[in-house]
Amino acid sequence: MFMVLLAMCGLVQGKSQAETASTASPVYLVDIDAMINPGSYALLEHAIDIAEANSAAALIVRINTPGGLLSTTRDMVRAIADSRVPVIGYVGPSGASATSAGAFILLSTHIAVMNTGTNVGAASPVAGDGGDIEGTMGKKVMNDSKAFMRSIAKHHHRNADIAELFVSEAKSLTAQEAMQANVIDQVVPVFSELLQAVDGREIQFQGQKLTLKLAGREVRQIEPRLIDYLLKMIAHPQIAHMLISLGLLAIYVEILSPGLTFPGVLGGIAVVLGLIGIQTLPVNVGFLLLMLFGITLMVAEYFVAGFGVLGIGGAAAFILGSLNLFDAPISADDHDMIMMVSIAVSAAMLFATLVITGSLAFGSRKNKHLEGKCGEAMVSFDRSGYVLVDQQRWAADTIEPLNHGDPIVVVKQDEHDRLLVKKSSQTS
């Protein structure tokens, strides 16, 4: 009888423990991977909000990033510091890294953990082309970044001297080396064992000591929202630049060939998305204006008899503005892609302008005899402008002032296919 009662007590106790585990506060998990940009910050903020709203026992931030924007990194470090739930940083899976911006984020978490086969460090700031930042500005950025890293490490009682070397010497450590150097707290080779591994650890949280009780708790994955995906994509320097550049090219095609509609609509959407993206990035406004000025010059080439000078100047301004658009360190790969896109887009615009305006004479434009043929003025001009003859655009001088749409007749055609025209009583 005694044994039966003992068994029943055991069953009741087991059931009670199971119910307690099932009703305990969950632990949330969010993945921060790829380049650190404002999209990463939006996702982290969203995850912290969910964890706080559900009284989570902790939030795990799984990190795998090559780095990113320092301004966004500061925002993310601040968000972790202000979190009302403990944040566990975990570099994984095996082969992942917390490089550059990722090192700052990992060291700012309340418990820093790494998987085997991962690394952390290499947090030296670099210029937009991937090279060193020269002069006084270079010293300023370097010293600021070193102080930022030291303050994070000291706040969490980690090895500030080694952490500073991540910035000053681009030092990088394996998971085991980082733990031995007291840069991180633990190495956990299997993610499913993470909660058990950190269970019972004591941390400083909101000015007080807190003992974590996480073993056996449910882990709930936080999936990115559509806005997180969109912002993460368009806030990438390459993507934002391509959206603006290709969008402007599409609008340019619409200007050269009015009535197509499709290029104008798509181009407008692309430009708006690109502008949303660069609003979240540190942009050099002066060089953005230079890009727009370059586009204006290339459009002006279409309406003014610039003989290619305006188009070439516009292309040069567009490329120069593109290469200096982002006023923050970006990777060398990003810089190379931006350079290729800006050159390709400006070249396409310039080529289209020169072909349509007749500055390049190809195929059907050669050996055309236009004297005596009728057409119309494409713009209003007193001396030089453009006329439409034989369904093609021609640079022309006029004997008398012309208004847009006036019928004209070709009086003379020189060896460079430039026309001399006058008003005509006939229509084309």
Q: For residues 119 and 174, is the Cβ–Cβ distance under 8 A?
A: yes
Cβ atoms within 10 Å of 16's Cβ, excluding its own: 10
Residue 396: closest CA among 376, 421, 378: 421
Q: For residues 94 and 61, is the Cβ–Cβ distance under 8 A?
A: no
Q: For residues 203 and 209, is the Cβ–Cβ distance under 8 A?
A: yes
Q: Provide φ and ψ at 4, rounded to 5°.
A: -65, -45
Quote the pLDDT of residue 81: 96
CA dist list (Å): 27 to 11, 23, 59, 170: 27, 12, 6, 34
> Which residues neighbour 224 within 8 Å (Cβ) at sequence distance 6 or greater?
43, 46, 232
pLDDT tens for the chain, 428 residues long, are: 434 444 444 444 444 444 344 457 999 999 999 888 888 999 999 999 999 999 999 999 999 999 888 888 999 999 999 999 999 999 999 999 999 999 999 999 999 999 999 999 999 887 654 556 667 877 888 999 999 999 999 999 999 999 999 999 999 999 999 999 999 999 999 999 999 999 999 998 988 899 999 999 999 999 998 888 888 888 777 788 888 888 887 887 777 666 667 888 988 999 899 888 877 677 788 888 888 888 888 777 766 655 567 777 887 888 788 777 776 555 444 555 566 666 666 666 666 655 555 544 444 455 578 899 999 998 888 988 888 888 777 889 999 999 988 999 999 998 877 899 999 876 55
Peptide bond into 237 cis (omega under 30): no
Q: How many residues does the chain have?
A: 428
Quote the pLDDT of residue 2: 38
What is the amino acid identity at position 95? G
CA distance 204 to 72: 25
Q: Taken in order 39, 45, 47, 50, is the CA torsion positive or negative?
A: negative
As a whole number of Å, the end-to-end CA separation of the chain is 114
Q: For residues 365 and 418, is the Cβ–Cβ distance under 8 A?
A: no
CA dist list (Å): 15 to 12, 20, 362, 416: 5, 9, 86, 96
Q: Taken in order 304, 325, 284, 228, is the CA torsion positive or negative?
A: positive
Q: For residues 409 and 388, is the Cβ–Cβ distance under 8 A?
A: no
Quote the pLDDT of residue 276: 83
CA distance 324 to 327: 7
Q: What is the pTM of this model?
A: 0.68
**Bridge pairing between strands 111-114 and 186-187:** parallel
Q: Taken in order 56, 62, 63, 69, is the CA torsion positive or negative?
A: negative
Quote the pLDDT of residue 427: 58
User: Hey, which residues does 27 pair with through a beta bridge?
Assistant: 58, 219
Quote the pLDDT of residue 8: 47
